[in-house]
């Protein structure tokens, strides 16, 4: 059975139940979505999540009544009159936008709705469903319109499928990076500063810096040159790049000395200026510039979401200037680079999308076709499966989007690779060819992790805060059983610090069981070293790993060697 049809039919059943329970309700829309369905209502009085069981019970009655879904074809004018009489103002608005002379309505029992369909044969086909949550939603997504009540739900063909989904939903709540970030004291967003702007606390800064250090090392290995560019630039730069024409709704404008400036939304124009600072020869190419560049983009407050959707973020951004004959190899190298990075961080699966020309774009169709073909050819040469994402390219070029999958199988935006023939043309970027003539290079825009904020959010939810040792803010917690064990514990602490291990000593007068539970739950510490009389006498430590795994007594050298190996090899 088609799951979309099943879910859309369940949305109609929910709407029938709501209308029966809350007379005077006006109907919005109720589509099937990726993981279920929703319906928007203009209710006569507010409802809360505590009201969902009552709606579910009413839905069960409708399902047990086995009501047929009956299709009716009606003239648009007649349908308009029909819904006007019922004061269904939102349906009338939808009808006014339909160009066809006739429309379809679907009826089950006394409930009738404007709908293209199709639906299941009758309400009794629905076997298992669940209402999930309530949210506010502006009609048609426009904040100038009334705020409606949106009820989300889901349904599946079997109870087992529903139970599995509900388990994943609860697990996702447990892994919410905003909740974990607060518990681990990693980052914060302050109301007095403004939404979408991240403040990293000491532990969060450690994780972020570990990622940045690793990124720098990996880029250096692959012949990238790190650059740094300012956060603001004159508006002229963004007019030349095309951002003012195609991206202005996402940009912040300001005035400096009575001149218009822009808070940079992208790093690429700055890298172009560095490239153009001197004459380039074909022998220098490919030239790869890398920057951990912080950019600022306007996002509506309603879509901001912890680390995942912010207004200020840092990208592992790079731009490759290459000859046309080098393009395919460079794309392949970036794909390999991105794949190795995701694997290192513990992401084993991902989906690949090839995003094509959008409605608003710069350049010619021929240039876009050439760039798109280069990306597709590279993917095919690497033997990678991909899906065409029609019209989702950026305004200056097509792109490859790699969406990594976490421990729950959820997709997260990660690496992107964009081929750009347009900015080199707009900025008159050239190199001297083998024949002495000026030639135009191709530009590749790419990130191998993406936004550091979004990537850290994905990492938090993937590992539920229990990071691999190399990323943990506290890698080892030393715990003493009594005060007499503190001097020996301090010796161990000093030796581990000398080896570069992030270690903390817990010498509080608390039971060791309490200390272990706190280290595991509050700090997610991967290694705990417990010191009592036996350990001091044997000059060893008792080792406990995160997850109730006791490793017995070991010498400090054994512990250190294991730790250093795990950190160096970035074992996940």
| pLDDT given for residue 364 in this prediction | 85
| pLDDT given for residue 426 in this prediction | 92
Instruction: Give 246's contacts (C-beta < 8 A, 6+ positions apart).
Output: 360, 361, 362, 395, 396
Element (H, E) at 188: strand 187-188
Catalytic residue among 12, 80, 177, 399: 399
CA distances from 293 to 146, 444, 451 (A): 39, 16, 10
**Which residue ranges of the chain lie beneath pLDDT 50?**
none
- Annotated active-site residue 80? The verdict is no
Terminal CA-to-CA distance of the chain, rounded, Å?
A: 40
Q: Residue 349 in 3-state DSSP?
A: strand
DSSP 9: H
Q: How far apart are the C-alpha atoms of 331 and 371, rounded to whole Å?
A: 11
The angle, 0 to 180 degrees and rounded to 10, between the axes of the packed helices 89-96 and 76-85 is: 160
Backbone angles phi, psi at 200, to 5 degrees: -90, 130
Find how far residue 562's CA is from the centre of its chain.
34
Q: Which residue is listed with tokens 């089950």? A: 108
Q: What is the pTM of this model?
A: 0.85
Q: How far apart are the C-alpha atoms of 478 and 508, rounded to whole Å?
A: 11
- Annotated active-site residue 315? The verdict is yes
Q: How far apart are the C-alpha atoms of 36 and 520, rounded to whole Å?
A: 36
**Residue-wise pLDDT tens digits, 184-197:** 999 999 999 999 99
DSSP-assigned letters across all residues of 447-470? EEEEEHHHHHHHHHHHHTT---GG
Per-residue HEC secondary structure of 79-91 comes to HHHHHHHCCCHHH
Catalytic residue among 119, 280, 333, 445: 445
Instruction: Give 391's contacts (C-beta < 8 A, 6+ positions apart).
Output: 355, 356, 357, 358, 359
Q: How far apart are the C-alpha atoms of 535 and 195, rounded to whole Å?
A: 50
> Other CB atoms closer than 10 Å to residue 97's CB: what's the count?
6
Question: Where are the strands (E) in 391-435, listed by range?
Answer: 399-405, 411-420, 431-432
Q: How far apart are the C-alpha atoms of 320 and 181, rounded to whole Å?
A: 35
| pLDDT given for residue 34 in this prediction | 85
Catalytic residue among 40, 316, 317, 506: 317
Catalytic residue among 19, 115, 155, 268: 268
- Annotated active-site residue 399? The verdict is yes
CA atoms within 13 A on the CB side of 172: 11
Q: Which residue is listed with tokens 């109730």? A: 548
> Other CB atoms closer than 10 Å to residue 344's CB: what's the count?
16
| pLDDT given for residue 1 in this prediction | 67
Q: How far apart are the C-alpha atoms of 470 and 567, rounded to whole Å?
A: 5
DSSP 367: H
β 476-480/527-531 pair status: parallel
| pLDDT given for residue 394 in this prediction | 84
Q: How far apart are the C-alpha atoms of 227 and 272, rounded to whole Å?
A: 11
- Annotated active-site residue 319? The verdict is yes
- Annotated active-site residue 297? The verdict is yes
Q: How far apart are the C-alpha atoms of 11 and 163, rounded to whole Å?
A: 19
Cβ–Cβ under 8 Å, residues 322 and 281: no
Q: How far apart are the C-alpha atoms of 549 and 150, rounded to whole Å?
A: 46
Catalytic residue among 319, 405, 485, 540: 319
Structure tokens at 71: 């299709």
Instruction: Give 11's contacts (C-beta < 8 A, 6+ positions apart).
Output: 30, 31, 32, 37, 38, 39, 153
| pLDDT given for residue 549 in this prediction | 77
**Residue-wise pLDDT tens digits, 530-554:** 999 999 999 999 999 998 778 889 9
Catalytic residue among 12, 177, 311, 315: 315
Cβ–Cβ under 8 Å, residues 502 and 475: yes
Q: Domains in the chain, please, with CATH?
A: 3-174 (3.30.980.10), 181-463 (3.30.930.10), 469-568 (3.40.50.800)
Q: Tell me the Cα Rg of the chain.
A: 29
Catalytic residue among 297, 454, 502, 515: 297
Q: How far apart are the C-alpha atoms of 499 and 203, rounded to whole Å?
A: 19
């Amino acid at each position: 059975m088609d799951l979309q049809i099943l879910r859309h039919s369940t949305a109609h059943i929910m709407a029938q139940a709501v209308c029966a329970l809350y007379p005077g309700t006006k109907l919005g829309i109720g589509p099937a979505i990726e993981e279920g369905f929703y319906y928007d209502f203009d209710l006569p009085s507010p409802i809360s999540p505590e009201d969902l069981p009552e709606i579910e019970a009413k839905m069960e009655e409708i399902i047990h009544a086995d009501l047929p879904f009956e299709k009716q074809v009606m003239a648009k004018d007649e349908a308009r009159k029909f819904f006007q009489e019922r004061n269904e103002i939102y349906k009338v608005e939808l009808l006014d936008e339909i160009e066809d002379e006739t429309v379809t309505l679907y009826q089950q029992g006394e409930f009738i709705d404007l709908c293209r369909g199709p639906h299941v044969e009758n309400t009794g086909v629905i076997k298992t469903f669940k209402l999930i949550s309530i949210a506010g939603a502006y009609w048609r997504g426009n904040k100038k319109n009334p705020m409606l009540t949106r009820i989300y739900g889901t349904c599946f063909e079997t109870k087992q499928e529903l139970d599995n989904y509900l388990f994943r939903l609860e697990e996702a709540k447990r892994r919410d990076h905003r909740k974990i970030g607060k518990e681990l004291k990693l980052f914060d967003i302050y109301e007095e500063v403004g939404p979408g702007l991240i403040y990293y606390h000491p532990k969060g800064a450690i994780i972020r810096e570990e990622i940045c250090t690793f990124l720098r090392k990996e880029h250096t290995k692959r012949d990238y040159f790190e650059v740094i560019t300012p956060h603001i630039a004159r508006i002229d730069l963004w007019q030349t790049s095309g951002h003012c024409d195609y991206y202005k709704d996402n940009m912040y404008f300001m005035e400096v000395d009575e001149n218009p400036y822009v808070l940079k939304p992208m790093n690429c124009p700055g890298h172009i200026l560095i490239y153009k600072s001197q004459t380039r020869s074909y022998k220098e190419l490919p030239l790869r510039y890398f920057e951990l560049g912080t950019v600022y983009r306007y996002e509506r407050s309603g879509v901001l979401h912890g680390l995942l959707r912010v207004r200020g973020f840092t990208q592992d951004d790079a731009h490759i200037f290459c000859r046309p004959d080098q393009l395919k190899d460079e794309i392949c190298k970036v794909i390999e680079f991105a794949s190795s990075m995701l694997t290192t961080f513990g992401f084993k699966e991902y989906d690949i999308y090839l995003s094509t020309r959008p409605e608003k774009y710069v350049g010619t169709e021929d240039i876009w076709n050439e760039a798109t073909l280069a990306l597709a050819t590279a993917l095919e040469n690497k033997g990678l499966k991909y899906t065409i994402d029609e019209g989702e390219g950026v305004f200056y070029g097509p792109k490859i989007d790699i969406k990594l999958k976490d421990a729950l199988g959820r997709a997260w935006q990660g690496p992107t690779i964009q081929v750009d023939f347009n900015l080199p043309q707009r900025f008159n970027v050239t190199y001297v060819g083998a024949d002495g003539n000026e030639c135009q290079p191709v530009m590749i825009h790419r990130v191998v992790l993406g936004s550091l904020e979004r990537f850290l959010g994905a990492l938090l939810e993937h590992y539920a805060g229990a990071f691999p040792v190399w990323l943990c803010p506290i890698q080892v917690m030393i715990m003493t059983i009594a005060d007499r064990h503190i001097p020996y514990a301090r010796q161990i602490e000093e030796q581990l610090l000398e080896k570069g291990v992030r270690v903390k000593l817990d010498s509080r007068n608390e039971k060791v069981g309490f200390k272990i539970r706190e280290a595991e739950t509050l700090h997610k510490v991967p290694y705990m070293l417990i010191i009592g009389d036996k350990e001091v006498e044997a000059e060893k430590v008792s080792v406990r790993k995160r997850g109730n795994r006791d490793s017995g007594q070991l010498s400090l050298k054994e512990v250190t060697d294991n730790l250093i190996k795990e950190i160096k090899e970035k074992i996940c």
